[in-house]
Chain A
Amino acid sequence: MEKKPFIKISRLRKTLDGVEILKGIDLAIHKGEIMAVIGASGAGKSVSLKCITGLFQPDSGAVFIGGRDITGMGMRELNKVRSGFGVLFQSGALFDSLNVYHNVAFPLKEKTRLKDSEIAKRVTKALSDVHLKDVEEKYPAELSGGMKKRVALARAIISNPDIIFFDEPTTGLDPVLKQSIHELIIENHQRHGFTGLIISHEIPDIFDVADRVAMLCDGKIIFCGKPDEIVRSQIPEVKSFIHIRDCGKYSWDTSWNDSMGAEGGIKRELDKEG
């Protein structure tokens, strides 16, 4: 029997500045599952994340979280849903008037009644999990892009939320760090069993992290399935997006060998994004 999805997005549409960005998105994420969303830069991944978290009001469609539609919810109810959220914004969105320590401690300080010593312990642990040392006293403006990302990641997961949204958690990091962030996410998932949505460009590494992968293209989800299914997909857009990378153990069958020329454009665009 089909399980009831924990997060269900149905026919989500959003127009920004007269341009239709999302043209009817359907996606279902089950409890405890990690869903990866891939897609070209500018495809609308971040916009859909903002619709799912209630920051943007969609033009039409619904977003069910735990069975309740959050679109059109009042602030009070929405806050109840959001108190189970952890979000890593693409830009990090650290509070620039607070230092790293207070940024990471912020969710605990404001939302829990933990003692300061307990908070300090957790912050130190969270920072060492993302491989940051001796930065507690620094302000966000003094950090590199990759360091900001990791501080923001620590802040997003410190309160062990039920649902975590990651908008490109590893963009701008070196391969070693990238690997360790992915391991951190997996480990954290095994321990706390959160439901996750990761927007990522790390193909194929993200396939080790995610239970399922969805691809956003031209405002629609054109593919959704297990990692080993996506690499065998015959949908042309998926094929060309996936197969410009060396997918290692997620190798594809040899029927794919045509139309090399079409990928150049996408690859260039991806490189720009990095």
Chain B
Amino acid sequence: MLGQIIFKPVGGWFLRYLRDLGGSGIFLLNSLYYSFTPPYKWKLIIRQIWFIGYMSLGVILMTGAFTGMVLAIQLFYVLRKFGAESLLGPGVALSLVRELGPVFTALMVTGRGGSALTAEIGIMKISEQIDSLYIMALNPYKYIITPNFIAALICFPLLTAIFDVTGIYGGYLVGVKLLGLSSGVYFEEMKGFVERADLLIGLYKSLSFALIISWVCCYKGFFLGKGSSGFGARAVSKATTDAVVMSSVVVLIWDYVLGSYFI
């Protein structure tokens, strides 16, 4: 009786969870394997670079600028208490390069591109387009998964760099033009404090976020309807929401893990 009510659904859920976990692991390995073995579908890769990278530029510029500006105001407020306003430049730069640049870029691209990716792949799944690739003895990974992985790995570091630079200039606008710091202090101090290691951490983060997001968003579309709410438009919308929520959460958790490792 109790078994029927509690253990069966919980056990079933747990088994499904394990299968999902295993399935997504295999999916990641497949995707990576096919990403780094020829032939490459250059046309599709370029299309995805355009979609993930170029189309995100606007939102990255906007959020980058305002993040830098807010950061400068907040840091200025704190630093003034210690009489250390001259450290505003390094403060803004380090926060952006090590932390906010990669994370915000990842979250923005998830919201803009990741959701669209899941929806597109999910619709290809339910309309049997993926099946027809299989039937033509073609590898669906090559056509719809690996172009996204490759494009994300190329675009994320670049977008992150753009975010960082715009953020630093946003901080410059607030710190120098608005709050009256000298521009020499803002930039010169930065050179002394920001090290190669900081830039590398930012790079590692953005590369790993690229993997996480393309993994989660492609997987959710590719295995649409497996154990969730069936097929159809409902399943696509659920997969899309799941993909965005899951990518964002995993990105933040992974950011903490990496951050505490590199401290």
Contact = CB atoms under 8 A, between A and B. Distances in A.
Top 6 closest pairs, chain A to chain B, by CB: A93-B128, A79-B137, A82-B137, A93-B132, A83-B137, A87-B135
Interface of B: 123-124, 127-129, 131-132, 134-138
A89 B128 contact: yes
Interface residues of A, number: 21
A95 interface: yes
B127 A85 contact: no
24 contacts: A53-B135, A54-B134, A55-B131, A55-B134, A79-B137, A80-B137, A82-B135, A82-B136, A85-B135, A85-B137, A87-B132, A89-B131, A91-B127, A91-B128, A93-B127, A93-B131, A93-B132, A94-B129, A95-B132, A96-B124, A96-B127, A110-B136, A110-B138, A111-B138
Given A93-B128, A106-B136, A110-B138, 9 more contacts: A53-B135, A78-B137, A79-B137, A93-B127, A93-B131, A93-B132, A94-B129, A96-B123, A111-B138
Nearest to A84: B137
Interface string A89-121: 101011110000000001100110000000000
Contacts of A83: 137
Nearest to B44: A97
A249 to B, nearest CB: 36
Contacts of A93: 127-129, 131-132
A82 B134 CA distance: 8
Contacts of A53: 135
A46 to B, nearest CB: 10
B128 A111 contact: no
A170 B202 CA distance: 57
A56 to B, nearest CB: 10
Contacts of B127: 91, 93, 96
Contacts of A82: 134-137
Contacts of B128: 89, 91, 93
A87 B134 CA distance: 11
